[in-house]
A and B are shown apart, each in its own frame.
Chain A
Amino acid sequence: MIFGHFLKQGLASRYVQVAVLILLAVAVMVPVLNLAVPPGNPFHLPDHWVPLLGKYLCYAMLALALDLVWGFCGILSLGHAAFFALGGYAMGMYLMRQIGSRGVYGNPVLPDFMVFLNYKELPWFWYGFDNFWFAALMVVAVPSLLAFVFGWLAFRSRVAGVYLSIITQAMTYALLLAFFRNDMGFGGNNGLTDFKEIIGFDVSAGSTRLGLFVATALFLIASLVIISSVVASKYGKILVAVRDAEPRTRFIGYRPENVKLFAFVLSAAIAGIAGALYVPQVGIINPGEFAPANSIEVVVWTAVGGRGTLVGPILGAILVNAGKSWFTGVLPEFWLFALGGLFIFVTLFLPKGILGLIGQVKASARARREKRAAEQQVLAE
Chain B
Amino acid sequence: MNDVMEKTPDTAAGSQHPAHREHKAKFLLYLSGVSVAFDGFKAINNLSLFLEPGEMRAIIGPNGAGKTTMMDIITGKTRPDEGEVFFDGDIDLTKHDEADIANMGIGRKFQKPTVFETLSVEDNILLALAGQRRALPALFYRSNAADMAKIGEILDTVRLSDRRQDLAANLSHGQKQWLEIGMLLAQKPKLLLVDEPVAGMTDSETEETAKLLREIAREQSVVVVEHDMHFVRELGVKVTCLHEGSVLAEGSLDHVSSNQKVIDVYLGR
Q: Which of chain B's residues have a CB closer than 8 A to the CB of A2?
A: 140
Q: How far is the CB of B197 from chain A (nearest CB, A)?
A: 15
Given known pairs A250-B99, A252-B183, A262-B136, the reply for A241 and B127 (CB within 8 Å) is yes
Q: How far is the CA of A233 from the CA of B75 in the complex (A)?
A: 29
Chain B, residues 167-196, CB within 8 Å of chain A (1/0): the string is 000000000000000010001000000000
CB interface residues, B 72-119, toward A, < 8 Å:
75, 98-99, 102-103, 107-108, 110, 114-119
Report how far A233 CA is from B119 CA in the complex, Å.
13
Task: Give min CB distance, A158 to chain B, whole Å.
Answer: 11
Q: Say whether B119 contacts A237, CB under 8 Å.
A: yes
Number of interface residues of B (CB under 8 A): 29
- In the complex, whether A362 has a CB less than 8 A from a CB of chain B is no
Instruction: Return B50 CB to nearest CB of chain A, in Å.
Output: 23
In the docked arrangement, what's the CA distance between A262 and B135, Å?
8
Contact of B110 among A235, A248, A249, A254 (CB under 8 A): A248
Most buried by A among B110, B123, B140, B187: B140
Instruction: Indicate whether A241 sits within 8 Å of B183 (C-beta atoms), given known contacts A251-B102, A251-B107, A253-B103.
Output: no
The distance from the CB of A259 to the nearest CB of chain B, in whole angstroms, is: 5
User: Is B269 among interface residues, defined by CB-CB distance under 8 A?
Assistant: no
Whether B108 pairs with A244 at a CB distance below 8 angstroms is: no
Which residues on B sit within 8 Å (CB–CB) of A237? 116, 119, 123, 126-127
B133 on the A face (CB < 8 A): yes
Cβ contact within 8 Å between A5 and B114: no
The residue of chain B having its C-beta at the shortest distance from the C-beta of A253 within the complex is: B102
Kindly state whether residue B142 has any CB partner on chain A within 8 Å: yes
- Is the CB–CB distance between A251 and B75 below 8 Å? yes
CB distance from B215 to the nearest CB of A (A): 21
Number of contacts between A and B (CB, 8 Å)? 83
Q: How far is the CB of A331 from chain B (nearest CB, A)?
A: 40
Interface pair A234/B138, CB less than 8 Å apart: yes
Instruction: Give the size range of A's interface with the partner.
Output: 20 to 34
**Which of A233, A240, A251 makes the CB contact (< 8 A) with B108?**
A251
Task: State whether B138 touches A235 (Cβ < 8 A).
Answer: yes
Is A258 interfacial (CB 8 A cutoff)? yes
In this assembly, does B17 line the interface, its C-beta being within 8 Å of a C-beta of chain A? no
A247 within 8 A of B: yes
Q: How far is the CB of B2 from chain A (nearest CB, A)?
A: 36
Answer whether residue A238 sits at the interface, using C-beta atoms and an 8 A cutoff. yes
Closest Cβ of chain A to B146, distance in Å, is: 15
* Cα–Cα distance between A240 and B127 once the two chains are bound (Å): 11
Q: Is the CB of B139 within 8 A of A6?
A: yes
With a 10 A CB-CB cut-off, give which of B127, B128, B136, B183 has the most chain A CB atoms.
Answer: B127
A230 contacts chain B at the CB level, 8 A cutoff: yes
State whether B116 touches A254 (Cβ < 8 A).
Answer: no
Contact (Cβ within 8 A) B141 A254: no
From B103, B123, B140, give the contact of A6 (CB < 8 A).
B140
When chains A and B are docked, how far (Å) is the Cα of A237 from the Cα of B122?
A: 11
**CB of A368 within 8 Å of the partner chain:** no
Return 8 A-B CB contacts under 8 Å, by A number: A3-B140, A5-B140, A240-B116, A244-B117, A248-B115, A253-B133, A255-B99, A262-B136
A240-B116, A245-B115, A248-B114 known, 15 other contacts, Cβ within 8 Å: A5-B142, A233-B141, A234-B127, A234-B139, A234-B141, A235-B139, A237-B127, A241-B127, A244-B117, A251-B75, A251-B98, A252-B127, A252-B183, A253-B103, A262-B135
The interface of chain A, by Cβ under 8 A from chain B, is 2-3, 5-6, 230, 233-235, 237-238, 240-241, 244-245, 247-255, 258-259, 262
The 8 closest A-B pairs by CB, nearest first: A253-B102, A234-B141, A235-B138, A253-B103, A250-B98, A234-B138, A241-B116, A235-B139
